[in-house]
Amino acid sequence: MKEREQEQARLDRVMETITEQIHMLEKETIQRRKEVIDIRKHFWDDVKVNTDTFDDYLETIIGLRQQAQALSVSQSTHRHAFKKLSTLRRMQEVPYFGRIDFLEEGTSVAEQIYIGISTLMDGENILIYDWRAPISSVYYDYLLGPAEYMTPEGIVRGLLEKKWQYMIRGGVIEAMFDTSLTIGDEILQQVLGKNTDNYMHNIVASIQQEQNRIIRHDRGKLLIVQGAAGSGKTSAALQRVAYLLYKYRNMTSDQIILFSPNSMFNHYVSNVLPELGEENMQQVTFQEYLNHRLSSEFQIEGPYEQMEDVLTASDDAAEIRNASIRFKASARFFETIKAYSRSLQSAGMLFKDVVFRGKPIITAKQIEEKFYSDTSTRLPHRLEKLVEWLMKQVDEVEKWERTKPWVREEMELLSNEDCQKVYAHLQKKRGFEASFHAYEKALARLVVQRKMKPLRQWIRALRFIDMKGIYKQLFVHPMLIKQWMEGEVPKEWDDICRLTVNMLEEGKLCYEDATPYLFLQELIHGFQTNLSIKHVFVDEAQDYSPFQFEFLKRLFPSARMTVLGDFNQAIFVHASDMVDFHTLTNLYGSDQTEIITLTRSYRSTKPIIEFTRRLVPDGERIIAFERDGERPVLTLVGNHAELHRSIASKVEDLRKQYHTIAIICKSAAESTLAYESLRHLEGIKLMTSESTSYEQGVIVIPAYLAKGIEFDAVIIYNASAQVYGDERLRRLFYTACTRAMHYLHLYSVGEPSPFLHHAERN
């Protein structure tokens, strides 16, 4: 009891320090904000603008630079103070969560290290250490006894004498534990036992040793995290972002990018880094990137549309589509595209006519002849020369066009303002009264230049290259591709070629074609690499193809990469034959790659984990955290009317206990059917691939959209053999069931899925 009182007395002093610093920073932020506003308001008052002479001009530039620098310093100081103030306000809620007593080698007294979300100092004394500080790793990594941690100066060794965990609310210690575990079961049970809300939250108080390895990993180019559903992969990755921003002070959040599964997931995880006092990194889906690059040319199919097509197509059509996806997602097709692009050095490039006012001024044949008249340089360099040549041809055409009748008609439509500008320009340029003839020539030049401006932009953007035709060449004659690839084409190749050509001619691009098309375009145009990104995170990495990973590597050549996934949730066709991420070691080589496997699942109760792990091969490797709860329930119903009545009744019961209830369906089509039949339920929402935010309440959602998100209670809409009878749907079914944290209820219209035969046994 005495120790508890001492700890509370220390906490009281810490709370006083936090309060004092908050008051000081509140005054500082107000003052800094006033300074910024004042500088902006009077920015031009203190700058003498004079460009009469070079010295006057130089003085003006120096004055502008000084004012801009003063503004930048004030803004930066204000941002820093505001960020620190936000962190201190969060620390008022939970100032720290752990403590270690560490006796460093060569010293006689153990130092008490209190650990929280940020450092707190009182003068020169450190009251709280940031959870990312080197010494804090001892808290997560060691039991009592010998311990060490890495600093920039080298390894520090010593003895971990005590490890404490605290539960603090409102400045009061509610509980404290003296334990040799990394994180006491009591605290973790409480964290995991809570109902969810609209956002994922930080896990700094409950980081496990294996998660800490991910967070602080600092070797090689590629870190692969292969983890069971609910093992904390995404949480650890977000903490890793915060750790990198803490360790590498010169790295900013906009130099880190996260490729996430969908926009709803982005919203769900958007709170984690701000909770830790850091700005969110860039977040994008791979589909958004493809749309950014290609949507002006094509209607691009998305990954979920691809999945819907596979799920709802006839058997024959699905077989062709599956074969197309597998081949075009492969590393073999990646090498094929590279070989094809090399062959274009000598033949095969296709071009479009350069057209002005509806007539070709340079034909595709002329462009081709000019392009292949020089075979000494690489494609991108040759294209640069070709652009220069085309511009010169356009210059000649422009001179010729100025005398055409259409130009005089356009001249008559020019505004008075345009005419006055042209006349004033002539006067200034010639220094005397301009002649009428010179005036007319200048007006004609203006008219033709304006008309030709879009054409010049079109040429500079390399739009004269017929990229669609070049890509289509791979599929127009089915056997043509064999000269660029190793091995045999898929047996469905003729049908794949027909499908691809038809889509391209309709102005559509299948999802499996989008990355190969863009890669081929980049090889021809010259790669648009992003050198500013220093770290790439890929979540739900099993949804990405080997082709897409090769593309990302080339897109971000300066970046290190962290990929996270679970092949038991590999629901897309391209990954159906893969069981782990070992093929990715070829990206950077095994010496630059480390794989960390997480087998313990924390999301769900033990009964739910024991049920779901029987749904997948090797599921016995998944270890359940000891958290009790209700066993999953399977209810058989005779028809859909009975199904909807039962689900509606169950939802009303669950509302009394849980915040988030998900009715998970196989597809978007089934989700729409379920929603229409249950829309009488108050507040029920239908989530689609266009949904941008994750909300509490009752939602209806396709299984593939629920990936990466967790719900208090999950209802599987129809777990029947008719819906989930195909073995290819096993991983999709597993993904749906593993979204449940506390409660899982499965309904089946008629005979249940064969996946459940093994899972239901005791």
Summarize the annotated binding site as residue ranges: 227-234
Nearest to 411 by CA among 380, 386, 445: 445
Residue 491 DSSP class = T
| Cα–Cα distance, 501 to 514 (Å, whole number) | 14
Q: Give one word for 761, left, alpha or beta, with left for phi > 0 and alpha for psi -120 to 50.
A: beta
| Cα–Cα distance, 569 to 542 (Å, whole number) | 7
Is the Cβ–Cβ distance between 515 and 333 less than 8 Å?
no
| Cα–Cα distance, 515 to 334 (Å, whole number) | 10
Cβ burial 12-37 (10 Å sphere, 16+ → b, else e): eebbebbeebbeebeebbeebeebbe
Task: Identify the burial level of 636 via C-beta atoms within 10 angstroms of its C-beta, where 0-12 means exposed, 13-18 middle and 19 or more buried.
Answer: middle
Task: Identify the burial level of 58 via C-beta atoms within 10 angstroms of its C-beta, where 0-12 means exposed, 13-18 middle and 19 or more buried.
Answer: exposed
| Cα–Cα distance, 438 to 425 (Å, whole number) | 11
Neighbours of 667 (CB within 10 A): 19
Residue 38 DSSP class = H
CA dihedral 568, 571, 577, 579 (to 10 degrees): -20
Per residue, what are the HEC states of 363-392? CHHHHHHHHHCCCCCCHHHHHHHHHHHHHH
Is the Cβ–Cβ distance between 739 and 717 less than 8 Å?
no
| Cα–Cα distance, 15 to 21 (Å, whole number) | 10
CA dihedral 701, 703, 706, 711 (to 10 degrees): 80
Nearest to 581 by CA among 572, 593, 592: 593
**Paired tokens of 426:** 């002539």
Tokens 């294209």 belong to 383
Nearest to 213 by CA among 140, 311, 118: 140
Paired strand residues for 744: 714
Q: State how beta strands 172-178 and 154-169 pair.
A: antiparallel
What backbone phi and psi angles, to 5 degrees, belong to 531? -90, -10
Binding residues for ATP, as ranges, are 227-234
| Cα–Cα distance, 712 to 650 (Å, whole number) | 14
Is the Cβ–Cβ distance between 243 and 214 less than 8 Å?
no
Is the Cβ–Cβ distance between 753 and 733 less than 8 Å?
yes
Nearest to 230 by CA among 685, 645, 714: 714
Half-sphere exposure in the Cβ direction for 358 (13 Å, CA) = 0
Residue 630 DSSP class = P
Long-range contacts of 268-272 (CB under 8 A, 24+ apart): 268/198, 268/199, 268/200, 268/694, 268/708, 268/709, 269/199, 269/200, 269/234, 269/238, 270/199, 271/199, 271/200, 271/201, 272/199, 272/200, 272/201, 272/202, 272/235, 272/238, 272/239, 272/242
Is the Cβ–Cβ distance between 587 and 325 less than 8 Å?
no
Cβ burial 313-322 (10 Å sphere, 16+ → b, else e): eeeeebebbb
| Cα–Cα distance, 264 to 284 (Å, whole number) | 11
What is the H or E stretch that residue 147 is in? strand 145-151
